[in-house]
Homo-oligomer: A and B are copies of this chain.
Amino acid sequence: MKLAVVRQYRAAGAKKYQSPNMGGDMKNNRLCGLLGIEHPIIQAGMVWVSDWRLALAASEAGALGTIGAGSMTVEQAVENIRKAQEATAKPFAVNIPMLRPDAAQVGAAAMEAGAKIFITSAGNPAKIVPLIKRPDNILIHVVPSVKGAIKAEAEGVDAVICEGYEAGGHNSPFETATLPLVPQVADAVKIPVVAAGGIADGRGIAAVMALGADGAQLGTRFIATAECPAHENYKKLIVDSLDFDTCIIGRKLNMLRVIRNEFAKRMEEAEKKGATEEELFKIIGSEFNRNRAASWEGDIEEGAFQAGQSSGLVRDVPTVAELVGRLVAEYDAAVGSLKKMG
């Protein structure tokens, strides 16, 4: 994709004072309209810790719940979709990371099982777009950049989630943070824009809506909830984290934001010394095992606890219903408190 296209979009953006996406009555919110949800809030699909139970709780609370199929076999993904369908008539999504070699297979099985909303991430959605794009389906893609958003729109996705550097888990080498990223994406595309990375309360949602987003996606905040199947130690680590307690590991590999523990410190040290990819893979061992050690076994020293910089804003473990109610109240308080300058 030529950067000239980005420049062209930017030139158009320069002429307007505000994005077409910005604000609007919640009844007319584009994301709520697209997805059929009450609040423009998406519970992020996360490997290992967002199964049908978390998705169900989020959807029942009026947000969009997401089953994170990234860590599931095709059969497990289908089972999770079936269970969510049996438990609620409300919409929910399935997240499929594109770095998975069998992403198209997961997508096909999920469609077959009746999933309607698909969120693709960590890669190019091109290989799955023709499969998913049916009149009944909605496809949302996660992007780290303006050019990624423009490309996804051109490929026909229905909305983009633009995710900043502060987000937990897989992260882009572009390193663009959410605050500068969102308005640039909002200026560049016409489809709805969801902001992700660094948001854990209603103030953050209000902030990204002011930037021109149509909604917000929260991941880390949803791990520290009663319904999330993550190990108690994972939730406790998030609650105990301060503002600088996460770090990026694997800048040379597949960048990952995790809570800084013994394992992460070893990675940081090795990277500072210029370790090769091979040496880094040796420290990691099995990423699968590191994730399981964190998510299911609660191995505080050696697990890979994927979490964002918003961990510092997470201070308790409420139920999902309590959390969503609080997000709405905080959002409304933030919006209500803003006074004009002019």
Contact-residue size bin, chain A (C-beta under 8 Å from the other chain):
35 or more
User: Which of A78-86, A104-112, A126-134, A202-210 forms contacts with chain B?
Assistant: A202-210
Q: Which residues of the partner chain B approach A39 to less than 8 Å between Cβ atoms?
A: 341
B243 touches A145 (CB 8 A): yes
Q: Which residues of the partner chain B approach A7 to less than 8 Å between Cβ atoms?
A: 242
A203 touches B199 (CB 8 A): no
B274 touches A243 (CB 8 A): no
Q: Measured between alpha carbons, how far is A336 from B174 in the docked complex, in Å?
A: 32
A338 touches B164 (CB 8 A): no
A89: Cβ under 8 A from any B Cβ: no
Q: Measured between alpha carbons, how far is A21 from B251 in the docked complex, in Å?
A: 37
Best-buried of A22, A207, A308, A315 by chain B (most CB within 10 Å): A207
Q: Measured between alpha carbons, how far is A340 from B25 in the docked complex, in Å?
A: 8
Q: Which residues of the partner chain B approach A176 to less than 8 Å between Cβ atoms?
A: 166, 243-244, 309, 312
A282: Cβ under 8 A from any B Cβ: no
Q: List 22 A-B contacts (CB under 8 A).
A: A6-B242, A17-B326, A18-B203, A18-B333, A22-B333, A23-B339, A24-B337, A26-B339, A26-B340, A176-B312, A179-B197, A180-B243, A180-B310, A183-B204, A203-B210, A203-B212, A207-B211, A209-B338, A210-B210, A210-B338, A273-B274, A335-B340
